[in-house]
């Protein structure tokens, strides 16, 4: 059984989803793929993991790096799970390109190469925004691209982490 609660972030309302294993989703209201994967019998109820999630978000939005991670229950294809695991390794305050992730995935799988577009698709289907930091992934030339929550939010999240967003290129 999945449950939801809401969180009021400085960047807008967030819905948090979880089950008895951990967090299953965290989306900005109205973002692309909003609430995708929620079961039809999902109920709004406060469960223990939500306390940890809200504490994590409070710390994060205060401009600090949280020193813990609530339990996560990510559901996806093996490829998606591999990409999301790599996202979780991107250090706070740093960025990585889709191409760098693709090279690492290819290396792990013993392949000559991996499509950056395939990686971008998996990054875009990440159901646990912010905590699984897809906002830290940028285009090959440092351009801000591909954030389901919107590029404005992506820029604000990077700025919050003290990543110099002025050096990142906004799309035309």
Query: Which residues are tagged catalytic?
Result: 134
- Inter-CA distances, 64 with 67, 107, 170, Å: 9, 33, 25
Among positive and negative, which fits the CA dihedral 38, 44, 46, 51? positive
Whole-number Å distance between alpha carbons of 107 and 59? 35
Q: Which helix (H) or strand (E) holds 152?
A: helix 151-160
Whole-number Å distance between alpha carbons of 135 and 150? 10
Q: Do residues 105 and 86 touch, judged by C-beta distance below 8 A?
A: yes
Q: Do residues 157 and 144 touch, judged by C-beta distance below 8 A?
A: no
């Amino acid at each position: 059984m999945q449950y939801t609660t809401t969180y009021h972030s400085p960047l807008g309302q967030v819905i948090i989803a979880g089950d008895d294993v951990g967090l299953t989703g965290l989306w900005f209201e109205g973002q692309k793929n909003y609430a995708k994967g929620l079961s039809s019998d999902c109920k709004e109820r406060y469960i223990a993991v939500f306390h940890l999630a809200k504490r994590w978000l409070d710390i994060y939005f205060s401009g600090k790096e949280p020193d813990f991670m609530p339990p996560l229950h990510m559901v996806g294809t093996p490829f998606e799970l591999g990409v999301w695991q790599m996202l979780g390794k991107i250090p706070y305050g740093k960025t990585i390109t889709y191409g760098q992730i693709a090279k690492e995935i290819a290396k792990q799988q013993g392949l000559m190469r991996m499509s950056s577009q395939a990686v971008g698709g998996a990054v875009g289907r990440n159901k646990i925004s912010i905590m699984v930091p897809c906002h830290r992934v940028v285009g090959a030339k440092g351009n801000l691209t591909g954030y389901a929550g919107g590029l404005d939010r992506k820029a604000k999240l990077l700025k919050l982490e003290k990543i110099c967003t002025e050096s990142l290129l906004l799309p035309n």
